[in-house]
A and B are shown apart, each in its own frame.
Chain A
């Protein structure tokens, strides 16, 4: 199970809540020295979010090993354009960039496709795709819909964005249950806004 690879323990000062531009310049020096990737994606979890209460730190950082900073940011934004969510924070979209970065490290063809795709996104946005407005971003992504690059990124979103514990917590999916004794004592019948079915239709539990 993927969890957010949060680097550093102390919350940063002046943290802003998301959504907002990816911050990259205000890391403390010690952490910057620690993070030696080809690109570093950083952000801060909204203080009020369910994730902030789970994570060891509100600030997060994801290192890229192959893709550059701009490409990582473009892919994050493309992920949010493809699968926008009022509940998912940028920290989750950063996982998309991280997973694509890992694919790029393994395969020159994958790197080429992602690199050229990001350039196409910039071109379609008439400048920086990552800093373009939402409408422009949507238009740019749509213009690439038939490309293999689009298929790669969209396909990766399915697992990168939604198959991780941050996403589970964000959407209220509790996931693995066996080690907690299942849901038999944890709300499998707790719906109260409809009447309970009669016992003939839904007999009482036998335990």
Chain B
């Protein structure tokens, strides 16, 4: 692996190594660019991943200090943990469940489709599904998504059997084991799924796609990638002309380092990405980098989420096998007759006993809760995930009264559910309960949203520079050699798990950056 000079200003610096950063790094290296990836977390591997929920959480989760505000319940139950995302090489692709769904055409035209929604800052994306289709296809191939490219679906576990039985009784038409970036057959030098039941804890068999053992080693094999783990970027620097010139970071020993760069791409997930732009404020850019629109940090989206768990008379053992083992697609469309715009997906989910106790209904205690846990082995579960409304008041800001380990202001994550989110969640809760009742549930539970796993929108792309932070390639409107390369780019959230779209945008962005570099435009 090369070690590029700190003063080498011909390199592309990528901040973060997850779905966006890790993919972008490989794509650029394949095209011959010299890339430095600065990853705040340490490097793990399938061998060091741990089949233990709390221990794995300590190993992989981003646990730096954060604060929360707003009326969302996470601010009450998990005030220091707004998001359940990762600080490790591979980022949150170590933790994700693997669901890989394309956006639907109308979801790129949210403002046009849904109209003006009070209290929401809806906007159409500056691109369409048609623009992305070839890149979606490449992403699916790269990730080995089941039910695409001739790859068979995964076998469904017990949790899926319950979902399927209930869904069909209820009259739902499309329920199957999903499109998953988990090998159902050996493929791309990775083994097939062993149904470990620890997708969230880093896949020890490597069957689930993660940049950690796909994109990153492929990029390393080109001799063009200089990956520096435990390198936490704290500032992006610029010159008098306003172009970015490099980054300042803290290395594994906490020492300050300065890496020069030709291009800087930020892929730190939707809390750290806007935070870094805000932390990089200067006399030229007093409100932070790429923030002439004032949109950096705004429109924070986390998807409408919730879970339904149900107790049955007979055992389920939902934790055996893939965490997200199947999906009901029928509710994904936009049907305002349901009382809300946008749609949602219903996906099986299981938690191990330790996390079930922590998340079933945070803070609850007493006999009813004890009974639920006594029936853990007889439980089935599903996650509800749908489009939430962007709001300019839902926002990542710097909390100057709380400092992190480097003395920098921590991010504060403010979120209030929009009425549309609440209406959708109530509908989804009801439908989820109906599915399980149809399958014979004795009792059902509405579980509130977990700390956010789908963090989106805080540096959104927009056709007009005044409406967002970056253009349709993730290039910031204000600074031509500064890019947003993660889910922060999302103009709106869609109903689908976002990783596939993040990877898709990264493939497309790599082409654009490479072209712009060839043309000496950046």
The residues of A with any CB-CB pair to B shorter than 8 Å are: 1, 82-87, 138, 154, 157-159, 161-163, 167-168, 171-179, 181-184, 186-191, 193-197, 200-207
Measured CB to CB, the closest approach of chain A to B82, in angstroms, equals 19
Q: In the complex, are the beta carbons of B154 and A196 less than 8 A apart?
A: no
Q: Does residue B119 face the partner (Cβ distance < 8 Å to A)? A: no
Measured CB to CB, the closest approach of chain B to A17, in angstroms, equals 18
Provide 29 A-B residue pairs closer than 8 Å at the C-beta atoms, listed in order of the A residue: A83-B365, A83-B369, A84-B367, A85-B373, A86-B374, A162-B354, A163-B353, A167-B353, A171-B373, A176-B198, A178-B198, A178-B204, A183-B195, A183-B321, A186-B320, A188-B197, A189-B156, A189-B157, A189-B158, A189-B161, A191-B316, A193-B314, A194-B161, A201-B164, A202-B156, A202-B160, A205-B155, A206-B155, A206-B192
**Other than the known A167-B353, A175-B51, what 5 A-B pairs have Cβ atoms closer than 8 Å?**
A168-B353, A173-B352, A178-B198, A191-B161, A204-B155
The one of B177, B192, B196, B315 that contacts A203, using a Cβ cutoff of 8 Å:
B177
Secondary structure dominating the interface of B = loop
B residues near A177, Cβ cutoff 8 Å: 51, 194, 196-198, 320
* C-alpha spacing A168/B357, complex, angstroms: 12
B residues near A194, Cβ cutoff 8 Å: 161-162, 165, 439-440
Q: Does residue B137 face the partner (Cβ distance < 8 Å to A)? A: no
Q: In the complex, are the beta carbons of B195 and A206 less than 8 A apart?
A: no
Q: In the complex, are the beta carbons of B317 and A172 less than 8 A apart?
A: yes
Q: In the complex, are the beta carbons of A162 and B161 less than 8 A apart?
A: no
The one of B195, B319, B358 that contacts A174, using a Cβ cutoff of 8 Å:
B319
Q: Does residue B326 face the partner (Cβ distance < 8 Å to A)? A: yes
Interface of chain B residues 159 through 183 with chain A (CB within 8 A)? 160-162, 164-165, 175-177
A residues near B152, Cβ cutoff 8 Å: 203, 206
Q: In the complex, are the beta carbons of B184 and A206 less than 8 A apart?
A: yes
Interface size class of B (residues with CB under 8 A): 35 or more
The one of A84, A179, A183 that contacts B370, using a Cβ cutoff of 8 Å:
A84
A residues near B406, Cβ cutoff 8 Å: none
Q: In the complex, are the beta carbons of B161 and A184 less than 8 A apart?
A: no
Question: Given A84-B370, A206-B192, are A197 and B161 neighbors across the interface (CB < 8 Å)?
Answer: yes
* C-alpha spacing A204/B193, complex, angstroms: 12
CB-based nearest A residue for B194: A182
Q: Does residue B437 face the partner (Cβ distance < 8 Å to A)? A: no
* C-alpha spacing A194/B310, complex, angstroms: 15
Question: Given A178-B205, A188-B157, are A1 and B319 neighbors across the interface (CB < 8 Å)?
Answer: no
Taken residue by residue from 385 to 428, chain B's Cβ proximity to chain A (1 for < 8 Å, 0 otherwise) reads as 00000000000000000000000000000000000000000000
Measured CB to CB, the closest approach of chain B to A35, in angstroms, equals 29
Q: In the complex, are the beta carbons of A184 and B317 less than 8 A apart?
A: no
* C-alpha spacing A7/B392, complex, angstroms: 60
CB-based nearest A residue for B369: A83
Q: In the complex, are the beta carbons of A197 and B156 less than 8 A apart?
A: yes
Q: Does residue B446 face the partner (Cβ distance < 8 Å to A)? A: no
Question: Given A187-B320, A189-B158, A203-B155, are A178 and B194 neighbors across the interface (CB < 8 Å)?
Answer: yes
Q: In the complex, are the beta carbons of B165 and A195 less than 8 A apart?
A: yes
Enumerate the 3 nearest inter-chain pairs by beta-carbon distance, A residue then B residue, closest first: A182-B194, A172-B377, A202-B156
* C-alpha spacing A187/B158, complex, angstroms: 8
B residues near A184, Cβ cutoff 8 Å: 193-195, 321
Q: Which of B54, B357, B363, B365 is the most central at the interface, judged by chain A CB atoms within 10 Å of its CB?
A: B365
Interface of chain B residues 27 through 60 with chain A (CB within 8 A)? 51-54
Measured CB to CB, the closest approach of chain B to A202, in angstroms, equals 3
B residues near A190, Cβ cutoff 8 Å: 158, 317
Taken residue by residue from 342 to 379, chain B's Cβ proximity to chain A (1 for < 8 Å, 0 otherwise) reads as 00000000001110011000010111011001101100
A residues near B204, Cβ cutoff 8 Å: 178
* C-alpha spacing A193/B161, complex, angstroms: 10
Q: In the complex, are the beta carbons of B156 and A158 less than 8 A apart?
A: no
* C-alpha spacing A207/B321, complex, angstroms: 14
CB-based nearest A residue for B367: A84
CB-based nearest B residue for A205: B155
Measured CB to CB, the closest approach of chain B to A172, in angstroms, equals 3
Q: In the complex, are the beta carbons of B51 and A201 less than 8 A apart?
A: no
Question: Given A162-B354, A194-B162, are A202 and B319 neighbors across the interface (CB < 8 Å)?
Answer: no
* C-alpha spacing A197/B157, complex, angstroms: 10
Q: In the complex, are the beta carbons of B52 and A176 less than 8 A apart?
A: yes
Question: Given A158-B358, A187-B317, A206-B192, are A83 and B154 neighbors across the interface (CB < 8 Å)?
Answer: no
